[in-house]
Amino acid sequence: MNAPQRITVHAASGRLSLTWDDGRTQSIDNTTLRERCPCSTCRRLAHSGEARLDSPRVAIVDMQPMGYGMQIVFSDGHAQGIYPWEYLKRLD
């Protein structure tokens, strides 16, 4: 899957917008992104039923492209998750 044509962080609203090749624009809440982090630690915690977020509101402080997806760094210090493009596209 190709990377989005446009990626925009909306700090004021706490959302990430992605515009895909087909013209569809998707908006994902930062808290949803953090809660659904695909890293192994977060998946293990989700499977065990343990809470993962200490704060209900997190901000995106950095993003790094990784070819097949995007590594997102959150204001709570979490930076392990790499979000594949296909995974992001399904996070509606």
Is 30 in contact with 58 (CB distance < 8 Å)?
yes
Mean pLDDT over the full length of the chain: 91
Q: Could you write out the DSSP letters of every residue in 11-68? A: TTTTEEEEE-TTS-EEEEEHHHHHHT--SHHHHHHHHHT----SSS---EEEEEE-SS
Per-residue pLDDT at 48? 86
**Residue 72 predicted with pLDDT over 90:** yes
Q: What is the pLDDT of residues 22-56, one digit of tens each?
A: 999 999 999 999 999 999 988 888 888 776 666 66
48-68 mean pLDDT: 83
Report the chain's C-alpha Rg in angstroms.
Answer: 13
Question: How confident is the model at residue 73, as a pLDDT?
Answer: 96
Please give the backbone phi and psi of residue 56, each rounded to the nearest 5 degrees, phi first: -75, -15
Pick one of 1.10.15.40, 3.30.2020.30, 2.40.50.140, 3.40.50.880 as the CATH number of 6-89.
3.30.2020.30
